[in-house]
């Protein structure tokens, strides 16, 4: 087998949560371009269906499950749908996430809880559902989307819940990797830096971009395409000896 063949995902099936837009959409399309059939789990039916259609235009099969990653029944049902339709689940990217900004001393409890529920609990519930069907076949690739915010404290925005949740995702990934290695399941995470998505052009985010750029050695925002290659690598046979790792893709932000 050639080295390029090891990156191919032909015959594989995948689930991407939060796959209806932004980074999730980009990663779903990357898996499809590498040969995988890809199911989308999202809250937004319209955008999820659009991405599913894009996947089909690539020549791959796609499914859509409209559900909430904070609800274990939804996570289980999404996986069950894939098993019923395709017979197996090989790859999962747990990408769904949210964020908000508040000064810590005035952080509303309900807003804090909302971020932790989606970003940390949601990743765990999805990974749990995914692993249950991967364990019997003794293989699988789970990729959790964390953030450079799990390693550093961003500025000037105050986002303690987001930072804490993403640090939790990184250590959750290590913990699951250690537990599930005996089943042949590899669990890794990706920690993006500032990535250009529609959110970047919104207020008040837009006005912070010039300050962020000063702190990025490569001098630019990341593009969704900058994350696609590593996602395919972690989903493929090329990464079979890698588990429990977190890969930071931030243009060098965390080295300063």
**φ/ψ bin of 95: left (φ > 0), alpha (ψ from -120 to 50), beta (otherwise):** alpha
Q: Which of the residues 166, 191, 233, 253 is marked catalytic? A: 166
Measured CA to CA, the distance from residue 192 to residue 48 in angstroms comes to: 22
Please state, in angstroms and as integers, the Cα–Cα distance from residue 246 to each residue in 91, 107, 175, 212, following that order. 17, 28, 12, 22
Measured CA to CA, the distance from residue 145 to residue 175 in angstroms comes to: 15
Please state, in angstroms and as integers, the Cα–Cα distance from residue 39 to each residue in 79, 109, 122, 164, following that order. 9, 33, 17, 29
| Residue 88 designated active-site | no
Q: Which of the residues 62, 147, 189, 236 is marked catalytic? A: 147
Q: Around 177, how many Cα atoms within 13 Å sit in the side-chain half-sphere?
A: 21
* Residues paired with 38 in a beta bridge: 14, 62
Helix runs in 59-107, H state only:
72-86
Q: If DSSP states are collapsed to H, E and C, what string results for 101-127?
A: CECHHHCCHHHHHHHHHHHHHHHHHHH
| Residue 147 designated active-site | yes
Whether the ω angle into residue 156 lies within 30 degrees of 0, i.e. cis, is: yes
Q: Which of the residues 65, 162, 194, 233 is marked catalytic? A: 162
| Residue 207 designated active-site | no
List active site positions: 147, 162, 166
């Amino acid at each position: 087998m050639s080295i390029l063949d090891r990156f191919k995902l032909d015959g594989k099936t995948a689930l991407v949560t939060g796959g209806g837009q932004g980074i999730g959409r980009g990663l779903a399309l990357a898996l499809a371009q590498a040969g995988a059939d890809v199911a989308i789990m999202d809250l937004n039916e319209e955008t999820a269906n659009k991405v599913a259609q894009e996947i089909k235009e690539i020549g791959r099969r796609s499914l859509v499950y409209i559900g909430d990653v904070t609800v274990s029944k939804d996570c289980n049902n999404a996986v069950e749908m894939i098993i019923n339709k395709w017979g197996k689940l090989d790859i999962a990217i747990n990408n769904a996430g949210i964020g908000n900004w508040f000064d810590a001393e005035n952080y509303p409890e309900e807003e804090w809880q909302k971020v932790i529920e989606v970003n940390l609990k949601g990743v765990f519930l999805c990974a749990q559902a995914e692993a249950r069907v991967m364990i019997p076949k003794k293989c699988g690739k789970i990729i959790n989307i964390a953030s450079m915010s799990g390693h550093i404290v961003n500025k000037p925005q105050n986002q303690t819940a987001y930072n804490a949740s993403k640090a939790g995702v990184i250590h959750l990934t290590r913990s699951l990797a250690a537990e599930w290695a005996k089943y042949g399941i590899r669990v890794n995470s990706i920690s993006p830096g500032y990535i250009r998505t529609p959110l970047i052009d919104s207020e008040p985010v837009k006005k912070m971009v010039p300050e962020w750029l000063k702190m990025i050695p490569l001098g630019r925002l990341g593009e969704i395409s900058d994350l696609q290659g590593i996602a395919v690598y972690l989903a493929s046979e090329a990464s079979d000896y890698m588990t429990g790792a977190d890969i930071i893709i931030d243009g060098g932000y965390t080295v300063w």
